[in-house]
Amino acid sequence: MKIITCIKQVPANSTIKIDQVTGHLVREATPAILNPLDKHSIELALEIKESREDVEVIAITMGPDQARLALLEALSMGADKAILLSDIKFAGSDTLATSYTLSIAIKKLMNDDDNYLITCGAQASDGETGHVGPQVAEELGIPSITGASRASLDGDVLLVTRGKQAGKLEQIKTRLPALVTVTKGVNKPRLPTLHGITHAFDEGALLSVWNAATIDADEEKIGMAGSKTKVSKMYTPEPKKENITLTGSPKEIASKLASMLKEKNYI
Amino acid sequence: MQPNAKLEDYSGVWVVVERSESEIDPVVLELLGKAWDLAKKRNTSVTAVILGKHADQESKKLGIHGADNILGVHCPDVQDYEQEFYTRVLTELVHERKPEIILIGATPQGRDYAPRLSKRLNTGLTADCTGLDIEETTGNLLQECPTYGGNIMAIIQTVSSRPQMATVARGVFKPKIRTKASKVKVEKITYCFDATRERASTVDIIEQDGETRDVRDAEILVAGGRGMESSENFGLLEELAREIGGKVAGTRSACDLGWIEKNCQVGQTGHVVKPRLYIACGISGAIQHTIGMQDSEHIIAINKDPEARIFSIADTCIVADVLEFIPAFINAIKRFRNS
Ligand SMILES: Cc1cc2nc3c(=O)[nH]c(=O)nc-3n(C[C@H](O)[C@H](O)[C@H](O)COP(=O)(O)OP(=O)(O)OC[C@H]3O[C@@H](n4cnc5c(N)ncnc54)[C@H](O)[C@@H]3O)c2cc1C
Ligand SMILES: Cc1cc2nc3c(=O)[nH]c(=O)nc-3n(C[C@H](O)[C@H](O)[C@H](O)COP(=O)(O)OP(=O)(O)OC[C@H]3O[C@@H](n4cnc5c(N)ncnc54)[C@H](O)[C@@H]3O)c2cc1C
């Protein structure tokens, strides 16, 4: 069977700049890393691989050429193969377009074989929508289980534990093919090993680059054209309004504060 | 959006109802208040969609909070939430009735089906909005969402398709009460759901221990940090919280020291809260903490260090020793109450 793990490259920190003209984020200026939760999703794939004979782990990402680095990280953790979906036509994708692109690539990869599991992060640290996993599953017509805090595969049954409402956990299961999105609690990601790094260096053999034509993408459904949501404006929020400092002895401040709270109807 | 439909074919604002335990989840009432505003601007009505059985007093409650219509879909084969059931029923209802806007709680349940629903409807979905408004010139929904840990705000629009879908977390909007509620129209339909697709099914629900106090629901939070100095001093915060009708929360340091339970932690790795009043006692204001509380309506910070970062996001600053100040404050409140 195949385990396909969808990974995303994200900016490392929050010093993101906004291009004032286009309103788009300027990403090149900030270092890029593998989305932290995606390490957990790779780890889940690798743990399952180690527990049985027949598993091949394939990491896949849609992004610019530099997203290759995220795939190398997955390979050096132990993934068997990697696919980079890269094409200028994919630029500006919202989650509908992203999930369309990923899922037709997965269809091509699976070639009508139904024996697969997809692992994703519950959300990416930049866009943070958490849409991509469930939407890939929807496009492929398979069930999705979101927000796993524990996950295991027994035969072709995927068993997941996840938070439901405050104080409750839910155990939920489904049969493959299926998609699961993971949270931090699901496992502790391994570090790349020396062997893994050597393996990743065999990039030419392990990493394929596919473009819109390779996956036979419908141009109406990818990139900007395929996106239904548009970011119409981006701005840095105003710094917090002016504040006041209460002075005096603790007792004086205490009664000033109490009367202020009363006045504002907080107490 | 259906291939041959036009944008103008769509009208009305829908809120999908969710229950926690057997009660209507608070986020639903918050969304209804906002839906009511939006519907007024678009000159249309608000429909609360309930999947599963509902009682008459629920209709009344939804009406008071902003719903004009209630659409109840009953399905004999489905008891509880199920991803495929929600996705399929809502898809069919949307195709048939064509609402312009759909609002869904960004709860674990909403996050589970909303993305699939948007995909099946082939329309945009905006996640975790903190503001919703109508653009006057176009009538489009303006969806505000913070990104990059709140460092940047984005306005997102779904321009070329309908419905416009958005999810919103609990506590973002305030519920509203209609004083003159006109009669709510209730429509009930039965839906036969045959599960032809492979479904994900719940095996078991497990109760966790010690999750009795939920800081996310509190209107007033009294939060303590390492500056409280000991577990005993946290008792002062309990007393203050009792006096003003709030709950006690803490920083990660306070939780790690065992002064308060882990599930009361506020911040990046704890809860994100947005109470009306947040009183930060002996908290330095590390970014990992403030991410979780900076959107509170009013923040009071008490710290003995005038340079503490917490003061930069506070509305009311008090430079004092908390251990001296809190008892004085409790007394002051008691005096006010009696006067
Ligand atoms: C400020 C801002 C707000 C946005 N808001 C919205 C919005 O409300 N609605 C919307 O439709 N789009 C939105 N977008 C666009 C969205 O961020 C992109 O479509 C992005 O490619 C995927 O979404 P995400 O980062 O939210 O991923 P998430 O859905 O949060 O990612 C979850 C998981 O999906 C997988 N995944 C995500 N992206 C990729 C990828 N490129 N390759 C492989 N696997 C991937 C990974 O496993 C990841 O852990 C927004 C973008 C910005 C900058
Ligand atoms: C990945 C990561 C995730 C994290 N997640 C979280 C999180 O979710 N939530 C969280 O809270 N933290 C989190 N942290 C930890 C965070 O960085 C801070 O260490 C923590 O918030 C500090 O807690 P504190 O304010 O209680 O303690 P301190 O930083 O030690 O501050 C104590 C403050 O009390 C003041 N003080 C001391 N004595 C008195 C007195 N008698 N009267 C008045 N003031 C006094 C001091 O001036 C000081 O400002 C995280 C850190 C990391 C790296």
- What residue segments make up the domains of chain B, in order of their start? 7-197, 215-338
Helices within A78-234 (DSSP H only): 95-110, 132-140, 194-200, 203-206
Strand partners, B72: B50, B188
Q: What are the pLDDT digits (tens) for A103-162?
A: 999 999 999 999 999 999 999 988 889 999 999 999 999 999 999 999 999 999 999 999
Fold matches, B7-197 and B215-338 = yes
Which residue, B257, B245, B252, B320, is CA-closest to B291? Answer: B252
The C-alpha atoms of residue A105 and residue A102 are separated, in whole angstroms, by 5
Q: What are the pLDDT digits (tens) for A227-256?
A: 999 998 888 766 565 789 999 999 999 999
- pLDDT of res. B223: 98
| Contacts of residue B332, Cβ cutoff 8 Å, sequence gap at least 6 | A251, A254, A255, A257, A258
CATH superfamily of B7-197: HUPs (3.40.50.620)
Q: What are the pLDDT digits (tens) for A21-52?
A: 666 666 555 678 999 999 999 999 999 999 99
Q: Does B55 touch chain A (CB under 8 A)?
A: no
Nearest CA in chain A to B107: A165
- pLDDT of res. B108: 87
Q: What are the pLDDT digits (tens) for B103-130?
A: 999 988 999 999 999 999 999 999 989 8
Residue pair A137/A143 in contact (Cβ under 8 Å)? The answer is yes
ipTM of predicted assembly, 2 dp: 0.85
Average pLDDT over every residue of A54-61: 97
Q: Which of A96, A128, A260 sits opposite B118 (nearest CB)?
A: A96
Residue A94 has pLDDT above 50, yes or no: yes
Q: Does domain B215-338 have CATH number 3.40.50.1220?
A: yes
Q: Does B153 touch chain A (CB under 8 A)?
A: yes
- pLDDT of res. B211: 45
CA of residue A35 to ligand 2 center, whole Å: 26
Q: What are the pLDDT digits (tens) for B295-328?
A: 899 999 999 999 888 998 999 999 999 999 999 9
Residue pair A14/B148 in contact (Cβ under 8 Å)? The answer is yes
Q: Using a 6 Å CB cutoff, which residues line ligand 1?
A: A 6-8, 25, 35, 37-38, 41, 61-63, 93-96, 98, 102, 120-121, 123-124, 126-133, 229, 231; B 124-127, 145, 147, 154, 156
Q: What is the DSSP letter of B119?
A: H
Could you identify the residue written with the tokens 């000159």?
B43
Burial label for B16, CB within 10 Å (0-12, 13-18, 19+), is buried
Proximal ligand: closest to the CA of A99:
1
Whether B332 sits inside 8 A of A255 (CB atoms) is yes
Strand partners, A171: A161, B204
Let me know the angle formed at the C-alpha of B251 by B237 and B105, rounded to the nearest 5 degrees: 100
Q: Which of B222, B229, B234, B268 to mutate to test the pocket of ligand 2 (most atoms within 8 A of CB)?
A: B268
